[in-house]
Every structure is written in C-alpha cells, then in structure tokens.
Amino acid sequence: MPEEQPIEKAREALNSYWGFSSFRSGQEEAIRSVLEGNDTLVLFPTGGGKSLCYQVPAVVQDGLTVVISPLIALMQDQVQQLNKAGIRATFLNSTIPSYEVEQRLVNARNGMYKLLYIAPERLSTELWKSEQPNLDIQLVAIDEAHCISEWGHDFRPSYREIRTALEDLPQTTKWIALTATATPEVKKDILENLEFEEPVVVTGGFKRENLHWWVSKTEKKRTLLKKSVKKAADLGSGIVYASTRRDCEEWAGYFDKNGISAKPYHAGLDTATRNEIQQDWIDGDLSLVVATNAFGMGIDKADCRYVIHYTIPFSLEAYYQEAGRAGRDGEISYPILIFKESDVQYLRNRVEQNYPDREILQKVYDGLCDELDLAVGSEQDSPEEVFFDNIAKRTKLTVSKVSNAVNLLQRLDFLIQIDLREPRVGVHFIVNSDYLVEFIYDSDPGKGDFLDGLFRQFGPQVFSEMQYLDIEYLIQKLETSSNQLYKALRVFAEHDQILKFKWQEESKLIKVKGARQKKLRIESDQAYNYRDILLKKIEYMARYATTNACREVFLRHYFGETNCKPCGHCDNCRSGEKEQLLVSREDIRKVTQVLESGEKSFSEITKSASWDRKKTKKVLSFMVRENYAESDQSGDLYSLLRKA
C-alpha cells in the first residue's frame, strides 16, 4: 500500500484529537505549506483558528515543535487544552522554579513532548543556549508575530532577536509565523526579520460579515455605556473594555447590582481569581466581564454577542483583535466603540509621556549607573537587580518617569533589561536536610505541613543557595495569602532560625551595555521614531472613530485589502452616505490628480484645485479620514495612499 500522505495524517489528527471533521478556510493550505517545508506566514483574523496551523503539524511529524509566545496566560491555557486532548506539551516561563525548567528541558531532550511553549526572552538565557543543540526541533512557530515589527501594535524588541537566537538550527527546520493583525508594513517587516525565503502567505481576510461595527460619539459616555450594556445584555454574554482597574471594579459592581451578572478582570487580581472569572464567563455562568486589555487573549468562547470599548484603544490592530472576540460562532454580534474627542488627546499624551526628553534620559542613565556603582569608563560584569524606587530617589523623578526612561534606553541599546521580575521571594535553608525533616516531624501538623510544602516548591537546591519564586505562584501552590506567607517566613527565620529569606517587590535585572558614558549620544530619529509610529496609529484610530464611510471597509483597507464593498450593516451604512453630500467624487478625483505626481503642501493643493482654503480643508479632511491620502506630522504636506 502507498504510504499515507502528510496532509491525510493531518486530517486524521484533526478529527482524532480535536473532533473536527474538516479544516476551516485557509487552515489546510497553511498546514500543507508547513508540512512541505515552506516558510509560512499565516494572517488570520481573531478567532480564525491560527493555533491549529502549528499544533496539527506538531502532532503528525516527528520531533519537537517550539512555540514562541509572549503571554504566560496564553501558554498555560494552550498547554492545558493540549494535555486534555492527549497531546504532550509543556511551557517554560517565570512562573516555574529554575529546577523545574531544567527538568522540563531534560524531558524535552528525551522526546517526552510534542510542543514546547517558550517566551522569546528565554532564548537568550545560558540554560537555553546549552540545551538547544540537544533538542530535536523540527518546527518553530512564532505566535503573535506582529510583535516583531515596530509598526505592530505590541512591539517587543526580544521578538526581533528570535532568528538570531535560533540561527544554529539545521536548514531542515520548518518555520511558521502567525498573527491576527498585520498591516502591509508589518507583514513586510515580519518576512524580512525572519529571513523567510519564498514564503507562502496564507490570509483569511479581515471581513467578518456577522459583525455589525458601531461607533457612538458622545460627551455623556457613562450614560451611553449603561444604555448600551442594558440593551446588549438581552442578546447574551459580553465584554466591556476599560483602561483602569478602578473603572473595571466600578462598572462591574454597577452592572452586577442592576441585574446583569458581572465581574471585573485586571492584573491586580490573583491568578486563581482571574482563572475562575474567565472560566465562569466561558461556561456561561457569568454574563459580563469588565476588563482591561489583559482579558481575552486566546480565550475560546464562540457565543460572545457584544464587545464594548468604553476606552478607545491605541491602535486599530488592538481594536480589531479585541472587538473581534465577538461572534466567533458566526452569529450576528456587536463591536461597539464609545468615545469623545478628548479621548484621542489623552492617548497622545500617554504616548508622549513614554518618551522622555534627552535631559531626563541622561539623568536616569546616570542615576542607574550610580546605583550600580559603575564609574565613567568602566563596564558592568553581569546583570544586577535594580529597584526603580532607589533610582527615583537619586534622580528626584517619579518611578513612572524612571520606568519610561529605562524602557527607552533599552530601545536605544544603552542597556538590557534581562527579565521583568514580578514580586518574588527568595528562600535559603541554613540547616541540613536531616534537621529539616526532624523539625517538620516535631512541629504541629499545620506548621509542619506548611514547611514541607514550602520545601517541596523550592527543591533541594534551597539548601545550598538562595532560590527565588514568584510570590503569586507560591501563595497559589501553598493555598495561603501574601500576608500569611510573609509572617510564616519571618517566624521560620527569626524564631526558628532554620532559613533566610528575601522579600522583593517588582524589580528588573539590568545590564548597562559597554562602558559607562559621560554623555549619551542620542540620535533623535532613532530615539523617537517609534513614538511617531504610535502617534500615527492613534491618528488612524481617530479616523476610524470619525469616518462617515463603511466601518468594515475602513478596517479592511487599513489591513491592506482592496476592492472592498460596503458591509451594509455598520452604523454608517445604515445612516446612508451622508459625507457624499459634503464632498463630491469629482472633488476627490481632482485632489488625487494633484497628488499623483508626489507630495504637495496645503497651499499647492489649494492653488491647483482653484478652491478657497475652507473647501480644500474639507476635502483633505475627508480624504485623510477615508485613507485616500495622508499628511505628515506638521499637517501641511499631503501624499496619496490610494486612488479614488
């Protein structure tokens, strides 16, 4: 009998492990491309089934698939789902102790896993570098690949180092990159950075026929949110996105008291609580989640009927991804944006604050080097833990300004932030193992059990040196609170004198690159280019919010699709082509002809069209909003984006 073809094995795996009889549109094309060894880029909208494009090949081929993912919660959720389906998978991230990381890598070396999820930052660690040659890596999958590009809405510098970090992999290794939000610029950047040769690009398109896009402009946002949720709640479950924890708590409480079961979701809640809220919402036991943008990534809930943005996002990519969590089952659903003009200026101010001027950069750099006892001209041997509170005191700046400056200094390559540390605790037993066992045995049951659990979490290395774990992880495993853990450690250290501990708030490991400079050499283009990109993204977001044309067409044009027809059911399509009464097709064609020869100033366009300034402003405003043209930062120079 002829040998079974890989794609046939893929179809069998889809049915056997996931229970699906056929692939969604585009999935089989992507999987076939991977199995044939092509560099593959997958551009599917939110809910389009991207993960199966690497999970299915991982199951049907030999060896290990390494999945690079930026989100701890997403890793854990996918690994849990895979294990439930009988597929061996694990992850490496900061929630697990170092000895467990080492054990999982040994397991991977011995072929115990089909998929290994890992954060991009971990590829630069010495442990990974030493173990990578021992792993039979057959496929590298880069999830959320838009993080590679500065034009992406969630740029992460570590993503740009992935190809370099894995350059020693054999030529036969297969590569796939996946994202839900890639503009033409982002797509180009991904392919170039990953050095994809003759790539196969599979796109699912950005049309979502069942989504009725809606924007409401108002100065009475609170009143409108109450009305919108009350009306939408009759349709089923939903999400309200807000920007602050306080808003999440306030609105969840309000709706819950008014008959709509609701809970807040944000980073200030512990992991167990967040997981419980998420599961209750997925199971239908909770109608509404009021959340920051931390909620929703990778969540598989088909029947979310509405997503309301009470706060306007920083980019159309983020908006499309978050709003697209509505209606994954294909039923009519409503992504709604509530905004007022001042929201846009608020976003601009937030971006500007993240890019401190040269004077502040120099001050923070000097304060950081002083904190590290680093003299001018000397180099730092290895990364050291730094607390921003200390730098803030030295520089007389706020912790927020210090953090923003450090982030920009990293982007400018003056330093490296090796790892973002959540609050963590270090423990070192100063007695031997025999004494500890006897001490546990002689203690009352509650104290003994707690101490035994503590030792088991840190492992045997805790006798030789200080070992660290995230506080949130530890209190979850020991089923205690942060306060109770701290008190217990103090008793063990001060009264029983069996251990030493270090209780550390959020901090970072930092290494200054090269010798300390007396005066930083900063190029403005290099320093503030990404700021300008972010400001331009906010401008596109504002245009979407204020356009009078079809919302879906606007989104699809933004993501590079052409020849799109109006959806017929967004708020603008329903209210008719009002803008055409103000700007005629002939007016647009006239400006298009002027700009075809290249960039022109406002005055040049006014003169060429033989209009007064008021009419020129009206026509150009319309053309910029509808993505026919764009202006530079000064707002005086215009260039053509597409022909009318």
Q: What is the mean pLDDT of residues 145-171?
A: 85
Contact 167, 18 (CB under 8 A): no
Same domain, 225 and 272: yes
Task: Kindly state the percentage of the chain with pLDDT values over 90.
Answer: 48
Confidence of residue 371 (pLDDT cuts 50, 70, 90): very high
Query: Is residue 598 classed exposed, middle or buried when 0-12, 13-18 and 19+ CB atoms within 10 A define those classes?
Result: exposed
Same domain, 500 and 478: yes
| Dihedral (Cα; 19, 22, 23, 24), 10-degree rounding | -100
Q: What per-residue confidence (pLDDT) applies to 1?
A: 39
Q: What is the mean pLDDT of residues 424-447?
A: 89
Same domain, 497 and 521: no
Same domain, 284 and 413: no
| pLDDT tens column, 198-231 | 999 998 878 888 999 999 999 999 999 999 999 9
pTM over 0.95: no
Instruction: Examine residue 542 and state whether it is found in any structural domain, yes or no.
Output: no
Same domain, 278 and 309: yes
Instruction: Examine residue 537 and state whether it is found in any structural domain, yes or no.
Output: no
Same domain, 53 and 198: yes
Query: Is residue 77 classed exposed, middle or buried when 0-12, 13-18 and 19+ CB atoms within 10 A define those classes?
Result: middle
DSSP-derived pairing of the beta strands 200-203 and 262-265: unpaired
| pLDDT of 191 higher than 90 | yes
Task: Kindly state the percentage of the chain with pLDDT values over 70.
Answer: 95
Q: What per-residue confidence (pLDDT) applies to 507?
A: 64
Instruction: Examine residue 569 and state whether it is found in any structural domain, yes or no.
Output: yes
Same domain, 72 and 141: yes
Q: What is the mean pLDDT of residues 152-158?
A: 75
| pLDDT of 331 higher than 70 | yes
Contact 117, 60 (CB under 8 A): no
604: domain CATH number? 1.10.10.10
Instruction: Examine residue 467 and state whether it is found in any structural domain, yes or no.
Output: yes
Q: What is the mean pLDDT of residues 335-340?
A: 95
> What is the Cα–Cα distance from 314 to 181, expressed in whole angstroms?
14
Q: What is the mean pLDDT of residues 412-431?
A: 80
Instruction: Examine residue 627 and state whether it is found in any structural domain, yes or no.
Output: yes
Q: Which of 171, 203, 235 corresponds to the end of one domain?
A: 203
Same domain, 91 and 124: yes
Q: Which domain holds residue 137?
A: 6-203
Q: In total, how many domains does the chain have?
A: 5
Same domain, 159 and 29: yes
> What is the Cα–Cα distance from 294 to 524, expressed in whole angstroms?
32
> What is the Cα–Cα distance from 144 to 126, expressed in whole angstroms?
25
Same domain, 610 and 567: yes
| pLDDT of 2 higher than 50 | no
| pLDDT tens column, 401-417 | 998 999 889 888 898 88
Say which range, 49-63, 108-122, 575-589, has the weakest mean pLDDT. Answer: 575-589
144: domain CATH number? 3.40.50.300
Q: What per-residue confidence (pLDDT) applies to 6?
A: 85
Q: Which residues pair with 255 in a beta bridge?
A: none
Higher pLDDT, 374 or 630: 374
Q: What is the mean pLDDT of residues 322-337?
A: 92
| pLDDT of 479 higher than 60 | yes
Same domain, 243 and 321: yes
Confidence of residue 33 (pLDDT cuts 50, 70, 90): very high
| pLDDT of 253 higher than 70 | yes
Q: Looking at 548-640, which runs of residues are DSSP E strands?
A: 600-601, 629-631, 637-640
- Report the mean per-residue pLDDT for the chain: 87
Confidence of residue 162 (pLDDT cuts 50, 70, 90): very high
Q: What per-residue confidence (pLDDT) applies to 633?
A: 56
Chain position carrying tokens 């900061």: 94
Query: Is residue 126 classed exposed, middle or buried when 0-12, 13-18 and 19+ CB atoms within 10 A define those classes?
Result: exposed
